[in-house]
């Protein structure tokens, strides 16, 4: 049951598709960078920047803004693309990704681009920082929410669980984390490399409110965020099941696309596929 009307939802889906197109173009231009994760998280980033967050692209530092921490910094192309579409900076600048002198560093840096909140890339450090922000905000009776986006690979980092213990111990109801549960990492699937399941049970055992959602169902995701916001006595963990490489049939689910950019020819093919999908979304036949 969703609270979104059809027009809003269609708008968000269309936005997510445009963001995927930008990601593909950026990576082709950069000739290095990560493809699978950013494409898989485009729907969730769209939901955040175009529906969930209290934020102002023209005033990225406004005091009461919700904080969105990206822990798995390697998927930052999706953040840059979404921020550009939301009006933080010109779309044109996306072409500078990973280039010398660019504000769009290969992994995000706090002082480079207003609105990225923190530096990341080395995995596993986002949940602790988010917990610190949430804790400090609460000390000052601030009303904003702190959202932390995590990858499933980061569930293997001990620090993630140290943060989990801290956040639950301190009942950080203003902290909401989302796991990009795409089942892949570099050496293969997470369950082959270092199994994570039963992941939801683990977070529950750590004292978190846990929900599992389809990470490509934007309205379902927004519902889960709303439930999480209503829980004030515990931090929330939303396990979002996503498809790595989502939108490009040939590369979906394939861990080899973790850190490989499309070349120019592949990029052209990918864009064609996404544009066809765009037509379907706008025609109202997305599913």
Partner 1 sequence: MLNIKLQLDQDVLHPDTIKLKPTRDGFGTGLIEAGKKDERVVVLCADLAESTRVEEFKKTFPERYIEIGVAEQNLATVASGMANYGKIPFIASYAAFSPGRNNEQIRTTIALNDVPVIIAGCHAGISVGPDGATHQALEDIGLMRMLPNMTVVVPCDAFEAHRATVALAQLGKPGYLRLGREKTPVITTEQTPFEIGTAYTYVDQENPDVVIFACGPFLHTALLVAESMQKDTTSVSVVNVPTIKPLDTKTILEHTKKAGAVVTIEEHQRAGGLGSAIAEYLVSEFPVPMEMVAVNDRFGQSGSLAELTKEYNLDQDSLTQAVSKVIQRKSI
Among 59, 187, 226, 263, binds partner 1 (CB under 8 A): 187
Contacts of partner 1 in 3-32 (CB under 8 A): 30, 32
CB crowding 102-129: b at 16 or more within 10 Å, else e: bbbbbbbbeeebebbbbbbbebbbbbbb
Residues binding ligand TPP (CB under 6 A): 36-37, 72, 74-75, 121-124, 151-154, 182, 184-186, 244, 258
Task: Based on the shown chain and the rule CB under 5 A, indicate whether residue 154 belongs to the binding site for Mg ion.
Answer: no
Cβ burial of 132 (10 Å; 0-12, 13-18, 19+) is middle
Main-chain dihedrals φ then ψ at residue 183, nearest 5 degrees: 70, 5
Between 134 and 157, name the residue whose CB sits nearer to ligand TPP: 157
**Nearer to partner 1 among residue 157 and residue 281 (C-beta):** 157
Contact mark string toward Mg ion, 169..188, x via CB under 5 A: -------------x-x----
Candidate segments 3-11, 61-69, 154-162, 210-218, binder of partner 1 by CB under 8 A: 154-162
Nearer to Mg ion, 164 or 173 (CB): 164
Rounded to an integer, what distance in angstroms lies between the CA atom of residue 40 and that of residue 32?
18
- Per the CB < 8 A criterion, the answer to whether 150 and 127 are in contact is yes
Q: In this structure, is the dihedral angle defined by the CA atoms of residues 34, 36, 39 and 40, taken in order, positive or negative?
A: negative
Tell me how far, at minimum, the Cβ of 92 lies from ligand TPP, in Å. 26
Q: Which two tokens stand for residue 253?
A: 């689910």
Nearest to 40 by CA among 238, 259, 215: 215
Nearer to partner 1, 164 or 220 (CB): 164
Footprint of partner 1 (CB under 8 A) = 30, 32-33, 73, 98-102, 105-107, 109, 119-124, 153-154, 156-158, 185-187, 193-194
């Amino acid at each position: 049951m969703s609270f979104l009307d059809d027009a809003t939802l269609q708008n968000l889906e269309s936005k997510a598709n445009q963001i995927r197109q930008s990601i593909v173009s950026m990576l082709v231009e950069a000739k290095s960078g990560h493809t699978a994760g950013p494409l898989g998280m485009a729907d969730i980033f769209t939901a955040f920047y175009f529906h969930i967050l209290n934020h102002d692209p023209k005033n990225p530092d406004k005091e009461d803004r919700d904080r969105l921490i990206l822990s798995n910094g390697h998927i930052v192309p999706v953040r840059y693309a979404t921020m550009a579409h939301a009006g933080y900076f010109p779309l044109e600048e996306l072409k500078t990704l990973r280039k010398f002198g660019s504000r769009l560093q290969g992994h995000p840096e706090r002082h480079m681009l207003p609105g990225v909140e923190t530096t990341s890339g080395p995995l596993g450090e986002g949940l602790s920082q988010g917990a610190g922000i949430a804790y400090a905000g609460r000390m000052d009776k601030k009303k904003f929410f702190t959202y932390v986006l995590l990858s499933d690979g980061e569930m293997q980092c001990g620090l993630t669980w140290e943060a989990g213990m801290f956040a639950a111990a301190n009942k950080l109801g203003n902290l909401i984390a989302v796991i990009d549960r795409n089942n892949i990492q570099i050496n293969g699937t997470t369950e082959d490399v270092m199994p994570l399941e039963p992941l939801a049970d683990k977070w529950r055992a750590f004292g978190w409110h846990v929900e599992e959602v389809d990470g490509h169902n934007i309205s379902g995701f927004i519902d889960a965020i709303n439930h999480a916001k209503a829980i004030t006595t515990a931090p929330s963990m939303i396990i979002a099941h996503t498809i790595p490489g989502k939108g490009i049939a040939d590369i979906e689910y394939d861990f080899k696309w973790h850190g490989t950019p499309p070349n120019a020819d592949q990029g052209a093919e990918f864009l064609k596929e996404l544009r066809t999908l765009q037509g379907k979304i706008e025609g109202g036949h997305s599913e």
